[in-house]
Amino acid sequence: MNKSTSNSQSRKSTVAKQVMWNRMISVVEEQAQALIRTAFSTSVREAGDLSAGVYDYDGKMLAQAVTGTPGHVNAMAAAVAHFIRRIGRDNIFQGDVYITNDPWEGTGHLHDITVVSPSFHKEKLIGFFACTAHVVDIGGRGFTADAASIYEEGLYIPIMKMAERGEVNKTLMHIVRGNVREPDQVVGDMHALATCNEIGHLRLIEMMQEFDLDDLQEIAEFILDNSRVATLEKIAALPNASATGEMTIDGYNTPIKLNVALEIKDDEVLCDFDGSSGVDKMGINVPLVYTQAYSCYALKCAIAPEVPNNAASLAPFVISAPENTLLNALHPAPVALRHVVGQMLPDVVYNALDKILPETVPAEGASTLCNFQVSLRPRTDAPAPKDAIRAEVLTFNSGGSGARPGLDGMSSTAFPSGVMTMPVEATEHTGPIIIWRKELRPDSGGAGKYRGGLGQYMEVGATDGHEFDFSAMFDRVDHPARGRQGGHNGAPTTIARDDGVAMQGKGKQFVPNGRRVKLEFSGGAGYGEPSERDPELVKRDFARGYISAQVAKTDYGLSDSDIAEINKALLLGETLGD
Amino acid sequence: MTDLMKGIRMGVDIGGTFTDVVLEKDGQQFSTKVLTTYIAPENAIIDGMHQVCIKASISPSQIGQIIHGTTLATNALIERNGAKTALITTQGFRDVIEMRTESRFEQYDLNLSLPEPLLPRQQRYTVNERVSAKGEVYHALDKAEVQALAEQIKTAGYESVAVGLLHSYLNDSHERLIRDVLNEIVPEVMVSISSEVSPQMREYERFNTVVANAYIKPLMKSYLGRLYGRLRDEGVGCNVFLMHSGGGIISIESASEFPVRLVESGPAGGAVFAATIAARYGLDKVLSFDMGGTTAKICLINNQTPKTSRVFEVARTYRFKKGSGMPISIPVIDMVEIGAGGGSLAHVDSMRQIRVGPESAGSEPGPACYGRGGARPAVTDADLVLGKLDPANFAGGSISLQTEDSERALVSELGSKLNMDAQTAAYGLVEVVDENMANAARVHAVENGEDLADYTMIAFGGAAPLHAGRLCEKLGVDRLLVPVGAGVGSAIGFLRAPFSFEANRSVFMRLSDFDTSMISGLLSELEQEARGFVKRCDKAAEILSEFKVYMRYSGQGWEIPVVLSSEQAKKPDMQTFKRLFEEDYRALFGRIVDGMDIEITVWAVNATTPSEPVEQAIELDRADAAPVENRRVMFDPALGVEQSANVVLRKNMEFGQTVDGPAAITEDETTVIVPASREAIMQSDGCIDMRVRAS
């Protein structure tokens, strides 16, 4: 074995780089965990709606925390370059902290605040840390699609300094405090974002000292080169082909058309949304960064899932949409609920990709989160009890995901979003709300060789003496998830009051004292012909109550005698297949 | 120490592979390892007990106390071999344990499989009732409905029933009613209610915990009964106590009632073991590092007390990933566990990066060097190729290691893909696994607002001494202790654990609604409950109460534990609570938030017997060099070069004798590697005390 110094040096540096890449992913994870623990925003702390990353001198993302949600994947990757351009390199000092909630240069709506901090080592700028969180409130009309333009959606913070050389910009803080409904929490979150960057920075500097680095150039090249090669290898292994995909969803007042043209080339994957609907009157328009985020996420899952997110691994996925359309809405289009449309994009992309790579992608699912906000207040139609209060309650819920080629869909599980639901017991502590029901919705998963994931039932009311506005953000009422390869559609979303009064899938709707909202969230679609489903799984699904006797018979051909036998066995506590 | 803790005592730890038995008599320890006998685990205990009794020249009847910890409860949850169990829950919430958090624990895997709930849907029943978030009954439970359901439970032949109703941590009346009816109609069925097993808010965690308790209860009750009988048959007359996951001991009756509290009791024993060593050296900040064949566990021990938590996750199904297991909300010693052990296997991923674990070679075929057909390189193979292990002297010479097989595996799996020779591949492998462990330790420290540079590491478990020195270098930890008996550390820890029980409850209170009499009432109720469990173990013992509240800013999702003195708990004062919270918050996150209200979410009282007085170690400075047995070539990862290293036999080291790195200190069970940057001193209690070299 050759033991020359140069050999051992190069050996050491190869191994060291492997270790450093690992470390940088750990550094951003620490950054994200710090944010989760200190943030006030429900969506951050309970639901993981955040992201954190480290960037090189040029603003190229080197690593992103695993904790986080796909909505920020590409958006945050691009954001730092905007900061460098807007702030100007000459104006970047040690101790600075930058901030924005620009939907087009940040992550898609005013509720997301992005904070970027330059990282200095030995008095020299070496890179940046950035993180994003969805704050509780940003003023304006609140978290709804009702605004006619971005100006009504809340406070807009252009890219600017939140702190310069360690000195916090008090004017900015005053303006924020004066413009949002929960000033302590929002300002608290701004500080939490800055702190989490600081934690990342300190860990990075420790690493640089340990490995005796003056800058990040060499490790950046190592990370980006290896990621680029790995991603390109995956793309090269795919056929050169083009396909189109389409999907229609409910939209707000009029149905929305989502069209994509997908092209796989030797070294890139192009995804263009020409032909999709134009800009909408309501705040469900999507800035291009967010269109890119979810489309890119979909492609990465299917093509190169194990390559970590960074500038190089994201670069070969090129996403475009014509300017001034729904999926590339320009300022000042309203965009507050851009997730309602954005989270549908993986289904559209998969519609096309399935034609090129069969047996790879899932059938359509509920996809968009089934979120709603409840604004409770003392009843106004009659004297309210003394202890009646006002409260705002936001919940995150999920329908069923689409069946996979080889696996059933996931019941009541978020896809593509990465967020979690909140415990009902915790939600009920935040206001006079009662969740009467939150459980799986049988028969909602589309039949198939592989069954779609089940949606869920929810039933929502208020304690005695309260009335409320119910802000719905649901889709798939008129356009349920469609099956693949002979799989059936998932069940559509339904919404109504318990006294039978009809309600809409989107928008703020009044619910009087004593009434409840009954919700049935949509199921995922099936994959493959139901007749090909393993009969044992059909029996199991019936025994578990995932499907009714009716569906077991008509969709899957289970015989009456089988059904009777299973019903008998269940009474005797036999579990069948479990 | 209570009177019960004097005399001859025996600690028994049933692990996945071995059952460790340690007997202590007049300050002397006698230990043995026997293979775990899965079908009847008590057999291994009886066998091991006879072995240590012979070593100590006593008869089983002379044993004064037995303390037992076991992975059986954990295994039953992992292997899903518990009892036929039903869940009774609130109408409308049948699927809480199946819907989980409605999220995916791995974002990029389109073919993700979520873990199945412990009980499938047809075993989950509902009753029409509802309690509010204020603990008021919205909809009263109809006894006739419960009676009808009890008949159904009877017909279906369930052995065990879990009852978990919404907000029962605030009002347990409906859960109790269901238990009463079941006891009346189906007395043979065991009933667990969530308001007793885990009275904490968050229905998914609480329901899952009560289900887990019910699921393993028949099995554990029967096992503990059999064990007790067998011990009596062998002439043992003493009491048997159980180690619980919170690091204390409970009675066999309490353990049978709340077997879920036995989950992870073995690792808890390890943490107690490390805490005892910390006390012996008067160390206030210790990082315990336990590395075995498949996993490594890391725990922070401050002021000689292992850090505890209210919830943890067992039975992770996906690469030890957070969220892929099931949450259990009980008082537990807070540990991070990662898939990094001597048997962890390495491969190269599509980014040309070396990845290690969590897949493990197990004991069959084992690492490639065992020569039993293992073709993929494990951590042990890399350790061997780097000279950290002596091929002729592994496990006391019982297994002869094949270096060529290790090299072959390293080259074929790693070297050929990365253009590395066997040694460089081994170097890369150990650096990656050590980095993984270091990262886990760093993230854990950050989550607790701690800086590891102030810490001392205490290492135990078969593989830990091989890696601990390098881990210290990576973490900037200056001092490492490798105690005697590291191989049976958990069982020794059992003998050091106090009788203890933590009672806790979720009750929301904002500081702006501070209710002094309600607080002192609640804390005193919890104190009585906790002390009751300890009294069941020892009526005469002195019992200390430790008070803790979990607080956060209103609107936040994470609580931080705030410790109250007895005085502060008995005469609660709003300003004091606020000050204590702000101090802890600042220590954790570096700042406080002005203007936000603060709220208390969980209240906890831990009743414990005082910890055993520990004889302080007399710390010796370096004296003469220990006798060198021989020399061998060893690779030092920090320097990235091979060096000639001294090999010293641990048993030949006299107190105060020193070994300078690079060196290997060998014993039958393991080898302590001293990196070039360190020196090691043999302390008066047999600990290897490794520090940064003076030079």
Residue B636 domain-assigned (yes or no) = no
Pairing of strands B479-482, B456-460: parallel
Pair (B86, B120) in one structural domain? yes
With CA atoms as reference, the chain B residue closest to A427 would be B133
Task: Give the DSSP H/E element, type plus range, for residue B21.
Answer: strand B18-25
- Domain closes at, from B590, B608, B626: B608
Residue B335 domain-assigned (yes or no) = no
| Residues A121-149 pLDDT 10s | 999 999 999 999 888 889 999 888 889 99
Backbone angles phi, psi at B571, to 5 degrees: -125, 75
Contact flag B423-A1 (C-beta cutoff 8 Å): yes
Domain extent at residue B24: 1-70
Which range has highest mean pLDDT (A45-54, B160-169, B577-586)?
B160-169
Q: How many CB pairs under 8 A join A and B?
A: 244
For residues A293 and A70, the answer to whether their CB atoms sit within 8 Å is yes
Contact flag B99-A421 (C-beta cutoff 8 Å): yes
With CA atoms as reference, the chain A residue closest to B425 would be A15
Pair (B52, B84) in one structural domain? no
Tokens of B209: 């915990």
For residues A404 and A485, the answer to whether their CB atoms sit within 8 Å is no
Contact flag A573-B553 (C-beta cutoff 8 Å): no
Residues A50, A36: Cα–Cα separation, whole Å? 8
| Residues B327-377 pLDDT 10s | 999 999 999 888 899 999 999 998 889 999 888 887 678 899 999 889 999
User: Could you tell me the pLDDT band of residue A354, with boundaries at 50, 70 and 90?
Assistant: very high
| Residues A245-294 pLDDT 10s | 999 999 988 999 999 999 999 999 999 999 999 999 999 999 999 999 99
pLDDT, mean of residues B175-183: 98
For A185, the closest of B353, B428, B555 (CB atoms) is B555
Chain-wide mean pLDDT for chain B?
A: 92
Residues B583, A373: Cα–Cα separation, whole Å? 35
Distance from CA of A200 to the nearest CA of B (A): 11
| Secondary structure in 3-state letters for B607-635 | EECCCCCCCCCCCCCCCCECCCCEEEEEE
With CA atoms as reference, the chain A residue closest to B597 would be A184
Pair (B350, B368) in one structural domain? yes
Which range has highest mean pLDDT (A195-199, A429-433, B153-157)?
B153-157
Residue B654 domain-assigned (yes or no) = no
Residue B532 domain-assigned (yes or no) = yes
Q: How many domains does chain B have?
A: 4
Residue B613 domain-assigned (yes or no) = no
Contact flag A439-B553 (C-beta cutoff 8 Å): no
Pair (B112, B204) in one structural domain? yes
Pair (B84, B187) in one structural domain? yes
A15 touches chain B (CB under 8 A): yes
Residue in the structure block whose two tokens are 């084992």: B366
For A226, the closest of B93, B352, B476 (CB atoms) is B352
Instruction: Say yes or no to pLDDT of B279 above 80.
Output: yes
| pLDDT reported for residue A76 | 80
Amino acid B173 reads S
Residues A73, B108: Cα–Cα separation, whole Å? 12
Q: In 3-state terms, what secondary structure has residue B205?
A: helix
Distance from CA of B353 to the nearest CA of A (A): 6
For B155, the closest of A38, A545, A571 (CB atoms) is A571
Contacts of A182 in chain B (CB under 8 A): 555
| Secondary structure in 3-state letters for A39-54 | CCCHHHHCCCCEEEEE
For A45, the closest of B558, B595, B596 (CB atoms) is B558
Pair (B55, B124) in one structural domain? no
For residues A96 and A164, the answer to whether their CB atoms sit within 8 Å is yes
Tokens of B15: 């692990």
Pair (B104, B41) in one structural domain? no
Identify from B96, B104, B107, B109 which residue to disrupt to test chain A contact, counting A C-beta atoms within 10 A and taking the largest count: B107
Instruction: Pick B447 or B326 by higher pLDDT.
Output: B326
Domain boundaries, chain A: 5-228, 362-533
Residue B99 domain-assigned (yes or no) = yes
Q: Is the dihedral of CA B2, B3, B6, B9 positive or negative?
A: negative
A195 touches chain B (CB under 8 A): yes
| Residues B530-572 pLDDT 10s | 999 999 888 888 999 999 999 998 877 678 899 999 999 999 9
Contacts of B201 in chain A (CB under 8 A): 423, 425-426, 429
Contacts of A69 in chain B (CB under 8 A): 107
Pair (B392, B510) in one structural domain? no
Contacts of A294 (CB under 8 A, 6+ apart): A70, A71, A342, A343, A345, A346, A416
Contact flag A37-B107 (C-beta cutoff 8 Å): no
With CA atoms as reference, the chain B residue closest to A14 would be B428
Residue B21 domain-assigned (yes or no) = yes
Residues B71, B82: Cα–Cα separation, whole Å? 14
User: Could you tell me the pLDDT band of residue A4, with boundaries at 50, 70 and 90?
Assistant: very low
Pair (B539, B555) in one structural domain? yes
Amino acid A110 reads L
Amino acid B240 reads V
Tokens of B37: 């006998």
Tokens of A155: 């406070």
Residues A94, B133: Cα–Cα separation, whole Å? 48
Any idea what the CATH number is for the domain that residue B103 is in? 3.40.1360
What letter does residue B413 receive in the DSSP assignment?
Answer: I
Instruction: Say yes or no to pLDDT of A524 above 80.
Output: yes
Residue B15 domain-assigned (yes or no) = yes
Pair (B151, B52) in one structural domain? no
| Residues A306-352 pLDDT 10s | 898 899 999 999 999 999 999 999 999 999 999 999 999 999 999 99
| Residues B225-254 pLDDT 10s | 999 999 999 999 999 999 999 999 999 999
Chain-wide mean pLDDT for chain A?
A: 93
Task: List the one residue out of A490, A541, A275, A282 whose CA is nearest residue A370.
Answer: A490
Contact flag B93-A463 (C-beta cutoff 8 Å): no
- Domain closes at, from B432, B448, B463: B432
Contacts of B349 in chain A (CB under 8 A): 306
Residues A209, A18: Cα–Cα separation, whole Å? 16
Task: Give the DSSP H/E element, type plus range, for residue B97.
Answer: helix B96-99
Residue in the structure block whose two tokens are 């609580």: B559
pTM > 0.90: yes
Task: Give the DSSP H/E element, type plus range, for residue B337.
Answer: strand B335-338
